[in-house]
């Protein structure tokens, strides 16, 4: 295998004892200004520590697997989305598609999302549920154009928030989110980055951060970052855990039902920190959705039987589906 790596990265890793280079005649690359050398393999000793930026760099160059440790979260280092997009595209190529060709087959799209899951350490069902919710599971409109009203493509990369990833529009799809594989890579990277920030900020040290902290990512999508922060402030003032999604949504500990049927005690929803935060926003933004009374929303989300579907109940339903993969719950 031949590859070109800036010598400072290799020297740094070898100096930390985090990287071994096995080559026919050398134990480490020369300090001479060479561009590449031949090696049989690159291996990480058990328990090796690699700074995230170096792990990400080596993975991008194809020298390190996606599961290299990231010190911030204990998960895989976050790879560059360009390289990840190329890797995800190979799944479609193997299925007979060329890069840029319209793909509508759910099986192929699902396989591409699973590849992104491996690369970014985001649960596959998270990516599949996000794709279903954000774009109906399709990257292209019926006329063949990429969905791009306020956000782009399958995972709806926001145009205003990520201009660099949109630059050049459809004509530059090979280098931006208008390409399906790139779109998946960018969307997965965004989810992983949000996850890592929340894990670091919360000080989480449990065994399943996507289950325990992941719901807060969903809250930012459904209610907004401001609502989440306000709800956390309210929870803390009440002596609740500001990082416990059940405390935020319900104000109590709660066992997620496995049969998909939910019945909540009266007052849990409307008295929760999140409901209070949402109500405060509603006072300043009259068009901000808080409750619904139509038959459809009631049938799907009225978990406490009070005759209204509250945004918190919708957030609860989405959390159960997204995080636990149990499908859409129903009122018991």
Q: Which of 235, 180, 244, 237 is nearest to 206 (CA)?
A: 244
The predicted pLDDT at position 160 comes to: 87
The predicted pLDDT at position 13 comes to: 56
pLDDT over threshold 70, residue 158:
yes
pLDDT over threshold 60, residue 147:
yes
Q: E strands along the chain, which residues?
A: 2-3, 20-22, 37-38, 41-43, 151-152, 157-158, 261-262, 291-292, 309-310, 330-331
Give the whole-angstrom CA distance, residue 249 versus residue 323. Answer: 15
Give the whole-angstrom CA distance, residue 84 versus residue 78. Answer: 10
Higher per-residue confidence, 138 vs 75: 138
The predicted pLDDT at position 325 comes to: 77
pLDDT over threshold 50, residue 44:
no
Residue 65 exposed, middle or buried by CB count within 10 Å (0-12, 13-18, 19+):
middle
Give the whole-angstrom CA distance, residue 194 versus residue 71. Answer: 16
- List the beta bridge partners of residue 20: 43
Q: How much is the average pLDDT of 58-63?
A: 46
Predicted confidence (pLDDT) per residue in 236-291, tens digit? 999 999 999 999 999 999 988 888 899 999 999 999 999 999 999 999 999 999 99
Other C-beta atoms lying within 10 Å of the C-beta of residue 131 = 25
Residue 23 exposed, middle or buried by CB count within 10 Å (0-12, 13-18, 19+):
middle
pLDDT over threshold 50, residue 70:
no
DSSP 100-129: T-----HHHHHHHHHHHHHHH---HHHHHH
Q: How much is the average pLDDT of 197-219?
A: 93
Kind of pairing between the strands at 41-43 and 20-22? antiparallel
The predicted pLDDT at position 299 comes to: 95
The greatest distance separating any two alpha carbons of the chain, rounded to the nearest whole angstrom, comes to: 76
Phi, psi of 20, rounded to the nearest 5 degrees: -120, 135
Helices (H), 102-250: 106-120, 124-135, 180-202, 209-212, 215-222, 225-237, 245-250
Contact predicate 216/322, CB 8 Å: no
């Amino acid at each position: 295998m031949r590859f070109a790596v800036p010598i400072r990265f290799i020297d740094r890793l070898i100096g930390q004892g985090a990287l071994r280079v096995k080559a026919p005649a050398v134990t480490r690359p020369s300090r001479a200004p060479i561009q590449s050398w031949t090696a049989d393999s690159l291996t990480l000793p058990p328990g090796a520590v690699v700074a995230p930026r170096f792990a990400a760099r080596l993975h991008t160059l194809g020298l390190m697997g996606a599961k290299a440790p990231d010190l911030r979260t204990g998960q895989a280092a976050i790879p560059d989305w360009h390289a990840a997009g190329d890797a995800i595209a190979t799944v479609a190529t193997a299925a007979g598609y060329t890069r840029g060709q319209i793909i509508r087959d759910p099986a192929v799209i699902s396989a591409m999302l699973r590849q992104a899951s491996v690369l970014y350490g985001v649960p596959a069902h998270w990516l599949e549920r996000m794709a279903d919710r954000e774009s109906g599971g399709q990257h292209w409109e019926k006329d063949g154009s990429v969905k791009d009203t306020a956000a782009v493509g399958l995972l709806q990369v926001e145009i205003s928030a990520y201009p660099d990833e949109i630059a050049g529009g459809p004509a530059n799809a090979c280098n931006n989110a208008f390409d399906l594989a790139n779109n998946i890579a960018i969307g997965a990277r965004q989810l992983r980055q949000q996850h890592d920030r929340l894990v670091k900020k919360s000080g989480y040290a449990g065994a399943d951060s996507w289950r325990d902290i992941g719901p807060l990512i969903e809250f930012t999508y459904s209610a907004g970052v401001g609502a989440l922060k306000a709800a956390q402030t309210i929870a803390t003032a009440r002596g609740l855990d500001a990082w416990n999604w059940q405390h935020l949504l319900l104000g109590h500990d709660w066992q997620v039902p496995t049969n998909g049927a939910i019945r909540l005690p009266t007052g849990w929803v409307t008295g929760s920190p999140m409901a209070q935060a949402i109500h405060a926003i509603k006072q300043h933004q009259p068009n901000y959705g808080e409750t619904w009374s139509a038959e459809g929303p009631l049938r799907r989300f009225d978990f406490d039987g009070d005759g209204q579907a509250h945004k918190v109940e919708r957030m609860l339903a989405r959390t159960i589906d997204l995080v636990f993969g149990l499908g859409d719950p129903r009122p018991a």
